[in-house]
Amino acid sequence: MRRSSNDTSLKEAIKNLLNAYKLKGKVLETRLLGEWENLVGGTVARYTEDIYIRERKLYIKVSNATVRQELLYSKAELLKQVNTFAGEIAIDDIVVR
């Protein structure tokens, strides 16, 4: 079957739809919540109270001071992991509270 010039793949159509309705960030946020424990490990995930994305920043609220400090030290590595998980540069900064 030949593709005409205005045919798009399903992947491209979904990507265009998410961009048009500005849902890309929310989809990434939902995926991150689902895979948070796999990304950071069980101990960090246990003390994580809230995660959200706003204006290309990942906000993480942590209930334990030691875990908070560990996240601050490994912020660059975590940023790299999150962007690798997203498949693109989706997050510019991480704010740990």
CATH of the domain at 18: 3.30.300
Domain count, the chain: 1
User: Which domain range does residue 36 map to?
Assistant: 10-96
Residue type, 39: L
SS3 (DSSP) at 61? strand
pLDDT digits (tens, 9 = 90+) for 19-75: 888 888 889 889 998 999 999 999 999 999 999 989 999 999 999 999 999 999 999
Any domain includes 2: no
In a domain, 21, yes or no: yes
Report pLDDT digits (tens) over 75-92: 999 999 999 999 889 899
Question: What is the distance between the alpha carbons of residues 75 and 71, in angstroms, rounded to a whole number?
Answer: 6
Residue 22 inside a domain? The answer is yes
Alpha-carbon torsion (28, 91, 53, 42), positive or negative: positive
What is the spatial distance between Cα 94 and Cα 97, in angstroms, rounded to a whole number?
Answer: 10
Q: Please indicate, yes or no, if residue 1 is contained in any of the structural domains.
A: no
